[in-house]
Amino acid sequence: MLKIKNLAVAVGDKEILHDVSLTIRRGETHVLFGPNGSGKTTLLATIMGFPKYRVIRGSISFKGKDITGLSLDERARFGIGMSFQRPPVVRGVETRDMVAACLKEPESEETINKLASRTNLADFLHREINYGFSGGEIKRSEMMQLMAQKPELALLDEPESGVDLENIALIGKLINELLEKDCLIVNRKCMGLIITHTGHILDYVNARTGYVMCDGVIGCEGDPHEILAVVREKGYEECIRCLMKRRGMMSRPEVNKEVP
């Protein structure tokens, strides 16, 4: 189980996330909606443990252990994996090297080739990672690495952005494989948290819970398809309006509070 409690996160001197709580059980897939700049990537990057994102309040626990103090690589080895929206180019490091680094089992040519063929990247293994890759190639390469890593918590940052329709279908299929959607929930080992701005990925991947993040807080939680229907009809402006209205009624979340 992933349990995030009253999390507040700062980047530099600026508090980006305020009082975020959510729980994902093994086998479940949750989706995070929200306009650009609302803090979705900050939440994923904080769960992954990137040092730039500083937890100032609250906690993150995973598999019953408080991981708030674990480093990025310790979290990766503890079972958390992330697909990047815009991963960096690493010159001279081949895609194959990255897949080999992700593999938990001893490196085998056969395993790597199989993964490459499943992600339609057989010709990319000896290319420098992300160098000159198209949007779809980047996403498939991120999925290939995650499939090698076999995380128990997969954090997927906009897996469909910049991808054409044909590739979205393939990426959806790969996500379903990664999240073991063909197994009963009780038999799955993996859980997922997916960021989506447009919601297109929901046409291919089933999710149990959706959240809308606005201005660093989770504004609402519910059935992802219902949320998406509202967003598609009225846009995120409606979510922001709704949040502002409720903020007026309730005590305001700790926005712009000074960082200790």
Q: Which residues bind another protein (CB under 8 A)?
A: 48, 50-51, 71-73, 76-77, 81-82, 84, 87-88, 90-94, 97-98, 101-102, 128, 145, 149
CA distance 35 to 137: 25
CB of 46 to another protein, least distance (A): 13
Measured from the CB of residue 223, what is the shortest distance to another protein in angstroms? 31
Which is nearer to another protein, 76 or 171 (by Cβ)? 76
**Which SS3 state, helix, strand or coil, does residue 66 take?**
strand
**Closest by alpha carbon to 15, among 57, 72, 61?**
57
CA distance 94 to 126: 5
State which residue, 72 or 242, has the beta carbon closest to another protein: 72
Nearest to 88, CA basis, from 150, 151, 133: 133
**Shortest Å distance, C-beta 26 to another protein:** 20
CB of 32 to another protein, least distance (A): 18
Closest to 241 in 3D by CA, of 4, 99, 35: 35
Taking the least distance from each CB to another protein, the nearer of 111 and 208 is: 111
In the complex with another protein, which residue's Cβ is closer, 140 or 200? 140
Q: Which residues of 175-186 are buried (b: 16+ CB within 10 A; e: fewer)?
A: bbebbbbeeeee
Closest distance between another protein and the C-beta of residue 69, in Å?
16
| Smallest separation, CB 157 to another protein (Å) | 11
CA 180 – CA 186 distance, rounded (Å): 11
For residue 235, what are the contacts with CB-CB under 8 A and spacing of at least 6? none
DSSP-derived letter for residue 201 is G
By beta-carbon proximity to another protein, the closer residue of 53 and 211 is 53
Measured from the CB atom, the residue of 29 and 95 that comes closer to another protein is 95
